[in-house]
Amino acid sequence: MNEKLIRKIEQLKERRNAVILAHNYQPGEIQDLADFTGDSLGLSIKASQTDADTIVFCGVLFMAETAAILSPDKTVLLPEINAGCPMADMITADQLRQLKQEHPEALVVCYVNSSAEVKAESDYCCTSANAVEVVRSLPEDKQVLFVPDQHLGQFVAEKTGRDITLWPGYCTSHVFITTDDIQAAKAKYPEAIVMAHPECTEPVKALADELLSTSQMLKLAAQGVARQFIIATETGIIHSLKKQNPDLEFIPASHRAICPNMKKITLDKVIASLEEMQYEITLPEAISTRAKKALDRMVEILPTK
Ligand code: 13P
Ligand code: SF4
């Protein structure tokens, strides 16, 4: 059944001169059919470099918006228009404007998990892969406002020692991972390396060996540093980890760490997306031009890991 759908997607892709990009948290079958899977930074770079006419973005709204801003001449499609990111919705452009008024001298760094309007109000954008490097690149005397993820922001503050004002946003899926989960997994797999995403809470991160973006997790697993890994992030990444390292063992820290929005994309919706050219993501030029400045800075600053 899936094979038939996949063949259909291949035909439609050719007809539309389309490329399929999928985030590491997508359902396994979507990751398997994508031309490129990756973390938010890798996907943004791919979106800015592709020569396809159409980008089908299998992810959530802020990712498709980012692709549309970075590739203004392409058609960017999100197969499910209701695939949003609750964290991105935790700050509005009005709230950020208010925060900027309260700290007029500060620089604003926004996590890519934010709306295009929020990016347009920001000086720099970053992903979990390069947030530390982005903040390190800023003049040392400048105060930093970091939105919307308090946990990634806290991680950056600790790594850089910078004066960072945090916004109280968080990922509704990563907060399901608890210290009890990590301790139980460590007791069962004492030799395992714990890889956690910086979106996890601070007590969870304190128990981890490595704090990494999803693609950085894939890179470390491939380096042969251990046989077993406890994975403290959204469980979708386990699909690629297993596929790329069939001899290694990957233990999800919590089976509850699932992002329902990432799982809204299905093969049928990818077909409908290419057939109907839906749902096209477009933005007002005034927003897009300003947001692009912050995003261009993000894709220029590469992570050191
Ligand atoms: P990365 O894949 O960039 O680590 O992002 C995690 C995430 O939450 C995306 O929504
Ligand atoms: Fe947003 Fe968290 Fe889902 Fe990523 S995993 S899209 S941060 S809710």
Which ligand lies nearest to the CA atom of residue 174 in the structure? Answer: 2
Q: Report the pLDDT value the prediction gives residue 190, as an integer from 0 to 100.
A: 98
Structure tokens at 133: 């490097």
Q: Report the pLDDT value the prediction gives residue 263, as an integer from 0 to 100.
A: 98
Give the C-alpha separation, 107 to 181, whole Å: 37
Q: Domain 174-252: give its CATH code.
A: 3.40.50.10800
**Which residues are CB-neighbours of 214 under 8 A, at least 6 positions away?**
23, 24, 25, 38, 39, 128, 197, 233, 234, 237
Residues with CB under 6 A from ligand 2: 25, 60, 85-87, 113, 171-173, 234, 259, 261-262
Give the Å distances, CA to CA, from 68 to 18, 56, 57. Answer: 14, 11, 10
Distance of CA 174 to the CA centre of its chain: 12
DSSP state of 257: -
Strand, coil or helix: what is 32?
helix
8 A C-beta contact, residue 115 and residue 88: yes
Q: Report the pLDDT value the prediction gives residue 1, as an integer from 0 to 100.
A: 66
Most informative mutation of 45, 61, 113 for ligand 1 (most atoms within 8 A of CB):
113
Q: How far is the CA of 128 from the centre of ligand 2 (A)?
A: 12
Cα pseudo-dihedral 56, 57, 62, 63, rounded to 10: -120
Tens of each residue's pLDDT in the chain, 305 residues: 699 999 999 999 999 999 999 999 999 999 999 999 999 989 989 998 999 999 999 999 999 999 999 999 999 999 999 999 999 999 999 999 999 999 999 999 999 999 999 999 999 999 999 999 999 999 999 999 999 999 999 999 999 999 899 999 999 999 999 999 999 999 999 999 999 999 999 999 999 999 999 999 999 999 989 999 999 999 999 999 999 999 999 999 999 999 999 999 999 999 999 999 999 999 999 999 999 999 999 999 988 87
Give the C-alpha separation, 109 to 298, whole Å: 10
Q: What is the largest CA-CA distance in the chain?
A: 59
Q: Report the pLDDT value the prediction gives residue 199, as an integer from 0 to 100.
A: 98
Helix (H) / strand (E) element for 228: namely strand 228-232
* Domain 3-83+262-282, CATH homologous superfamily name and number: NadA-like (3.40.50.10800)
Measured from the Cα of 87, ligand 2's closest atom is 1
DSSP state of 230: E
Structure tokens at 55: 């980008």
**Which residues are CB-neighbours of 255 under 8 A, at least 6 positions away?**
235
Measured from the Cα of 59, ligand 2's closest atom is 6
Looking at 141-283, list the stretches that DSSP marks H as alpha helix, in order from N- to C-terminal side.
Answer: 150-160, 179-188, 202-206, 214-221, 237-244, 267-276
Block residue for tokens 């228009």: 81
**Which residues are CB-neighbours of 6 under 8 A, at least 6 positions away?**
33, 267
Give the Å distances, CA to CA, from 189 to 43, 185, 251. Answer: 33, 6, 9
Identity at 269, one-letter amino acid code = K
Buried b (16+ CB within 10 A) or exposed e, 19-34: bbbbbbbbbebbbebb
CATH 3.40.50.10800 in the chain is located at: 3-83+262-282, 88-171, 174-252
DSSP state of 176: G
40 lines ligand 1 (CB under 6 A): yes
Q: Per CATH, the architecture of 88-171 is what?
A: 3-Layer(aba) Sandwich (3.40)
Q: Report the pLDDT value the prediction gives residue 305, as an integer from 0 to 100.
A: 79
Measured from the Cα of 171, ligand 1's closest atom is 8
Give the C-alpha separation, 293 to 260, whole Å: 31
Identity at 44, one-letter amino acid code = S
